[in-house]
Structure 1
Amino acid sequence: MGLSASKRVQKSLSASPEFNSACDSTYAHCISVAQHAFAGVKPYQLFSAAEHLHQTLSQSVPLVAKWVPRPPDRDQVDRALKTVLSRRSVRDEEITLDEVEFKDFAAELFADAVASGAGREVLKRMPLGVAGIAGFGVLVKPGKEIVVAAIGAYALGVATSIYLSLDG
């Protein structure tokens, strides 16, 4: 299947004009709220920025609307920030994200949130289908190999269906 689910989502989000517009407006909002006191967005602003982005993206980006029912939590925000900061070549004492890093942060954050939501959906769908196939196998008694093959095909189908829906 090529790209991992989160990389696939990240690529799709970064190519979305709605995502880029939401990032630009949220970045400008953060700078404005801080009264232009900093050269970028400070870490303490990122949680409220994530909530603002979620509200905007839920209305305009189908991937976020479908897979991210609630704004990302603080752990997800912190993880995305650490990932973006790990890409820096020079470690600054004062952490601020410029506009490019903020977009990277948002893409990382929402790619992780979408992939997590899709993963939860796989875990929700899988047991029901497997139980249904196993129950059918008990009633019809087609043989263990056929039931196992049907369960495997079902699992692959569900995973593939969800993976392919991550393109946006």
Structure 2
Amino acid sequence: MKTLKTLFLAGLALFAMSSFAWSGSTAPPGIETHLFPALYKTAKGPVQKVRVTVKHEGASANATITLGDQSRKVKLNDGPNPFFFEIPQVQSTVQLPLTVTVGKEQESTRVEVKPVRHWQMNMVQHTHTDIGYTRSQTEILAEHLRYIDYALDYCDATDNY
């Protein structure tokens, strides 16, 4: 079961890393944005996720980050500070204003949000065992059925992802 989850996470990481064309930014130094090229199922419907990373130097400071019509009061610590925003699915490319305010200082930019393709991930259990070589066929069959049950349990447990 742990191997299945590891493979799933590795595949998801490769999928996210393949999206560098979607990321990035014309943001000022100290602000980075990344749009994840996927839709996420939520109670409010499908959303796209945007990561806003604010690099801060020095003592902790309170800040306000505004992306589109969403505003969030945050605490910035020394170093990179990642924040995630969920925005409703877009049907065409839109430019969302992004503003980071720390005290009286303010940095602004725009985040280009592009529509993304609907993806559905289906997991297929696959193993190879030389039936009858390592153990009897009846033992191997029971083991394979147990693996399938584990995969189905994992799918049920992650329905809301």
Structure with greater helix share of residues: 1
Same fold per TM (> 0.5)?
Answer: no
Q: Which is bigger in relative contact order (C-alpha 8 A, separation at least 6)?
A: 1
